[in-house]
């Protein structure tokens, strides 16, 4: 998508607490208006760009009537399906996300989950804490099979790392199609219930859309191998949480590793916390050292493109809710 404003643009920057990095570079390229959610309507008056550093704020939806001059919205997150609404979707406003910035880090986290599960790191920690020397055997991951649900930037990075350590990797996307350099084959995510039974790890890395909400439900979980593990580094609502609890309790699946959950944060009394076959981390798989700098760098580069009238990077198909893979 090509946009040219022909003047020094006005950028409204929506933040919650800390300001985005590289703000000095943004100020060299545009007139900047800093605002929290309560002042967004005023900040957007006459603005060309909304830089949504407060990634998951609903403020744009709530103040859409004041967005009449907007030409472009950029969000400092990869998953944006829950931020889209009809007025925005049907408008001419370009919408970009931060796809790709966190992909490698998330892939490393997913591989870490696989290694934790196969080598029983939690079991070793419990033995260490009990000062017990107990020899055990663990699982070898070479030759095991993983299904990565979501074949975009994150899914491809996961597949690349998994293949490097000897896993056999297939994908699941919007439609079934031949395999490629990342995936042995690609299944339709709508047919997970007849696909998952062949895999030792089912890894969720899909965006959250109307089509993917509760994609992993009781039917899918019951179709998984009883020795299989579910890994979620995508969005919590990709999984029906109550069905997952039931599958874990009944032994329908062997375990789960969850960087994202629903609801989030997980309530203190939720049963997932106390399950020995569950690993939970706090929605942090993409958050490595300097990741905020990388997010800021992407926006600066896109703002330069905007000023030059060049195509923007990471343009979201607003009807689909994500950046389509070529």
To the query of whether residue 33 is one of the catalytic residues in this protein, the response is no
pLDDT at residue 79 in the model:
85
> What secondary structure, in 3-state letters, does the chain show?
CECCCCCCCEEEEECCCCCCCCHHHHHHHCEEEEECHHHHHHHHCCCCEEEECCCCCCHHHHCHHHCCCCCEEEECCCCCHHHCCHHHHCCCCEEECCCCCCHHHHHHHHHHHHHHHHCCHHHHHHHHHCCCCCCCCCCCCCCCEEEEECCCHHHHHHHHHHHHCCCEEEEEECCCEECCCCCCEEEEHHHHHHCHHHCCEEEECCCCCCCCCCCECHHHHHHCCCCCEEEECCCHHHECHHHHHHHHHHCCCCEEEECCCCCCCCCCCCHHHHCCCEEECCCCCCCCCCHHHHHHHHHHHHHHHHHHCCECCCECECCCCECCCC
Same fold, 10-99+289-308 and 103-280: yes
To the query of whether residue 235 is one of the catalytic residues in this protein, the response is yes
The domain over range 103-280 is classified in CATH as 3.40.50.720: yes
pLDDT at residue 3 in the model:
55
The domain over range 10-99+289-308 is classified in CATH as 3.40.50.2300: no
pLDDT per position as a tens digit, 47-69: 999 999 999 899 999 999 999 99
pLDDT per position as a tens digit, 26-35: 999 999 999 9
pLDDT at residue 324 in the model:
87
For the chain, which residues make up each domain, given as ranges?
Answer: 10-99+289-308, 103-280
pLDDT at residue 179 in the model:
84
pLDDT per position as a tens digit, 249-260: 999 999 999 999
From the candidates 61, 270, 283, 305, which is the catalytic residue?
283
pLDDT at residue 317 in the model:
94
Per the prediction, the chain carries an average pLDDT of 95
From the candidates 33, 99, 174, 235, which is the catalytic residue?
235
pLDDT per position as a tens digit, 117-132: 999 999 999 999 999 9
To the query of whether residue 264 is one of the catalytic residues in this protein, the response is yes
pLDDT at residue 325 in the model:
75
Q: Name the pLDDT band for 81 (thresholds 50, 70, 90).
A: confident
Q: Name the pLDDT band for 82 (thresholds 50, 70, 90).
A: confident
From the candidates 42, 264, 276, 293, which is the catalytic residue?
264
Given a cut of 60, is residue 5 above it in pLDDT?
no
pLDDT per position as a tens digit, 284-299: 999 999 999 999 999 9
């Amino acid at each position: 998508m090509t946009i040219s404003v022909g003047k020094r643009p006005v950028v409204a920057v929506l933040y919650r607490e800390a300001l985005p990095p590289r703000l000095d570079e943004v100020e060299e390229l545009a007139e900047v208006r800093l605002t929290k959610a309560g002042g967004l309507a005023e900040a957007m008056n006459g603005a060309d760009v909304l830089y949504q550093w407060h990634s998951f704020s609903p403020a744009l939806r709530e103040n859409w009537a004041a967005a009449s001059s907007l030409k472009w919205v950029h969000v400092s997150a990869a998953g944006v399906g829950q931020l889209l609404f009809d007025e925005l979707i049907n408008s001419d406003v370009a919408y970009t996300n931060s796809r790709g910035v966190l992909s490698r880090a998330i892939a490393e986290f997913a591989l870490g989950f696989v290694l934790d599960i196969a080598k029983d790191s939690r079991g070793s920690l419990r033995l260490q804490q009990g000062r017990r020397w107990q020899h055990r055997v663990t699982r070898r991951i070479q030759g095991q099979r993983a299904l990565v649900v979501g074949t975009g930037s994150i899914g491809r990075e996961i597949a690349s790392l998994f293949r490097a350590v000897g896993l056999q990797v297939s994908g699941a996307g919007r439609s079934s199609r031949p395999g490629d350099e990342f995936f042995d084959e690609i299944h339709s995510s709508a047919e997970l219930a007849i696909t998952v039974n062949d895999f030792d790890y089912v890894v969720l890395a899909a965006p959250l859309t109307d089509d993917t909400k509760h994609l992993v439900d009781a039917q899918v979980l019951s179709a998984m191998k009883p020795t299989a593990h579910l890994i979620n580094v995508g969005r919590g609502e990709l999984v029906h949480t109550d069905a997952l609890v039931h599958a874990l309790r009944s032994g329908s699946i062997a375990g789960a590793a969850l960087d994202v959950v629903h609801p989030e944060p997980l309530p203190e009394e939720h049963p997932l916390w106390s399950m020995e076959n569950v690993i939970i981390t706090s929605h942090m798989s993409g958050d490595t050292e300097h990741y905020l700098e990388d997010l800021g760098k992407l926006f600066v580069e896109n703002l330069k493109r905007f000023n030059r009238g060049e195509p923007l990077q990471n343009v979201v198909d607003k009807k689909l809710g994500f950046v389509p893979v070529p």
